[in-house]
Amino acid sequence: MAKNSMTLIDNRNSKSYEYPILDATRGTNVVDMQTFYKDTGLFIFDPGFTSTASCTSKITFIDGIKGELRYRGIPIEILAKEHSYLEVCFLLLQGYLPSSSELIEFDLEIRHRSFVDEGLKNLIDSFPSHAHPMAVLSSAVSALSSFYYEHLNLKDQSAYNEMASRIIAKIPTLAAFAYRHSLGIPFIYPDIERSFTENFLYMMRAYPGGKMKITQDGEQHIKQVEIDALDTIFTLHADHEQNASTTTVRGVASTGAHPYVAISAGISALWGRAHGGANESVIAQLEMIGDVKNIPKYIAKAKDKNDPFRLMGFGHRVYKNFDPRAKVLKKLQDQLKEELGLNSHLLEIAQTIEKIALEDKYFIERNLYPNIDFYTGVILYALKIPRNMFTAIFVIGRSVGWITQWIEFKKDSNSKIARPRQRYVGK
Ligand code: ACO
């Protein structure tokens, strides 16, 4: 019997089965049970995949107990502090941080690819004006597959790079178009003179003809501190290993569908309140609470087993300690409070909830800490980003993670179609 293995005994017939334990370079090792069904005639029952590793990956590492997150081995705190979102995109895609000339080249490519086919404007225009930007975005990204329908030569790295650059570059444009459509105002084309994050804010805020509002002291309508804060938010969202939307992207990729369609499915999966949609729900909930004096009532509702109410922006499947991204954002929130003088009624409610929940036995016992969405909700609100764009901003940040995971899936010779089994209890 190999030392690095696990033996399982079927007590019905005393048969034993041995499965190898595969080491991870960091974190939790895995038991290789790929032959389990063939060996035993049984399926493994694991709804929600709480104990299932679905792939081997070199991209992102999370230690949920320690509260650690690394992209390609580098801690998130360092990336958020010292590197731009585009550097992080390059890191995720290529496995190393770019040199200054590589960054210039990558940045230029993203700027040039930020335009979308004019036909996509007609598609977006055909949605009702009250359509949620996430619905429009998911459809528009799916539609990209019909505008750029080329078959990838999977042996060619440059084809992968091109596909990844298109995804990263075009999604902010489509997100901004979706937003402007919801207001019934003209689309603003990308401005290649502007950096990635500034350009997104510009496409959201500019007046027709690409003019920016100028304040009395000659300042433009986009402040550097806003660009920096949003860039950090994109970095913190860039990847998060096998979360629900990434698992969706890999699942769709496993059928051989076009990558744009896989990313579109990821966008839809992200929209839900239990996942990326939580940032929008955080603000909706704070508005519903309405006043600091109502907080105890809602904390009691969150703790009541007979009440489906949950405190949005609290809890995480993987982090059972403070989410490291939330730590970075808490600091950013405090910094913005000073620099932009943010002092809203909602911020006061948010900070009071945070304090009460962190000291409450129910939340402590269940390791329910504020998650990334709690702080992004509050920060984006403070940056005057419209609430219906919060999850679309998550999409922009996560697009690189999805496409990197898609590439890894495609290049892995062990990849198979995703096809789980079931325990049948019907007639
Ligand atoms: N408020 C109140 N109680 C909660 C909350 C919450 N936000 N989250 C979990 N709990 C409780 C559950 O009722 C359960 O209690 P019990 O053990 O007494 O039955 C316990 O904590 C464990 O909760 P689960 O639902 O089993 O945890 P799971 O890992 O399946 O869910 C999730 C994680 C979906 C994030 C959950 O905490 C939640 O719904 N949070 C609110 C939504 C949210 O903020 N989502 C964003 C997640 S981060 C992201 O996707 C980017």
- Summarised one tens digit per residue, pLDDT across range 179-227 is 999 999 999 999 999 999 999 999 999 988 877 776 655 556 788 889 9
Taking CA atoms only, the protein residue closest to ligand 1 atom 20 is: 366
Distance 169 CA to ligand 1 centre (A): 33
DSSP code string of 83-102: --HHHHHHHHHHSSPPPHHH
What average pLDDT does range 325-339 have in this prediction?
Answer: 88
182 vs 36, 126, 132, 175, 176, CA distance in Å?
A: 51, 11, 7, 11, 10
Strand order in the sheet with 5-10: 5-10, 15-22, 30-31
User: 133 and 35 in one domain?
Assistant: no
CB count in 10 Å sphere of residue 194:
17
Residues in contact with ligand 1 by the CB-under-6-Å rule are 274-276, 278, 302, 310-317, 366, 368, 371-373
Report which of 61, 71, 76 is spatially closest to residue 96, judged by C-alpha positions.
71
User: 135 and 229 in one domain?
Assistant: yes
What is the CATH number for 330? 1.10.230.10
Beta-bridged to residue 377, according to DSSP, are none
User: 47 and 79 in one domain?
Assistant: no
Q: Is 181 a catalytic residue?
A: no
272 vs 182, 278, 317, CA distance in Å?
A: 20, 7, 15
Distance 365 CA to ligand 1 centre (A): 13
Distance 310 CA to ligand 1 centre (A): 7
Q: Is 373 a catalytic residue?
A: yes
User: 347 and 254 in one domain?
Assistant: no
What is the CATH number for 22? 2.20.28.60
- Summarised one tens digit per residue, pLDDT across range 77-113 is 999 999 999 999 999 999 999 999 999 999 999 999 9
User: 259 and 290 in one domain?
Assistant: no
Considering its fold, how many domains does the chain have in total? 3
Taking CA atoms only, the protein residue closest to ligand 1 atom 49 is: 275
User: 256 and 347 in one domain?
Assistant: no
User: 259 and 133 in one domain?
Assistant: yes
- Summarised one tens digit per residue, pLDDT across range 269-312 is 999 988 998 888 899 999 999 999 999 999 999 999 999 999 99
Report which of 404, 381, 341 is spatially closest to residue 93, judged by C-alpha positions.
404
User: 340 and 248 in one domain?
Assistant: no
Taking CA atoms only, the protein residue closest to ligand 1 atom 36 is: 315
- Summarised one tens digit per residue, pLDDT across range 110-137 is 999 999 999 999 999 999 989 999 999 9
Q: Could you tell me if residue 415 is inside a domain?
A: no
183 exposure class (CB count in 10 Å sphere: 0-12, 13-18, 19+): exposed
User: 287 and 267 in one domain?
Assistant: no
The CA-based dihedral angle spanning residues 222, 228, 229, 235, taken in that order and rounded to the nearest 10 degrees:
130
Distance 263 CA to ligand 1 centre (A): 25
Confidence of residue 341 (pLDDT cuts 50, 70, 90): low
User: 266 and 217 in one domain?
Assistant: yes
Taking CA atoms only, the protein residue closest to ligand 1 atom 11 is: 366
Confidence of residue 317 (pLDDT cuts 50, 70, 90): confident
Query: Structure pTM?
Result: 0.93
Instruction: Give the domain extent around 26.
Output: 5-53
Report which of 176, 190, 186 is spatially closest to residue 113, judged by C-alpha positions.
190
- For a ligand 1 pocket test, name from 49, 51, 248, 316 the mutation site with the most ligand atoms within 8 angstroms of its C-beta: 316
> Given 107, 316, 323, 412, which residue is catalytic?
316
- Summarised one tens digit per residue, pLDDT across range 360-369 is 999 999 999 9
- Summarised one tens digit per residue, pLDDT across range 253-272 is 999 999 999 999 999 999 99
* Euclidean distance between CA atoms 128 and 126, whole angstroms: 7
User: 287 and 266 in one domain?
Assistant: no
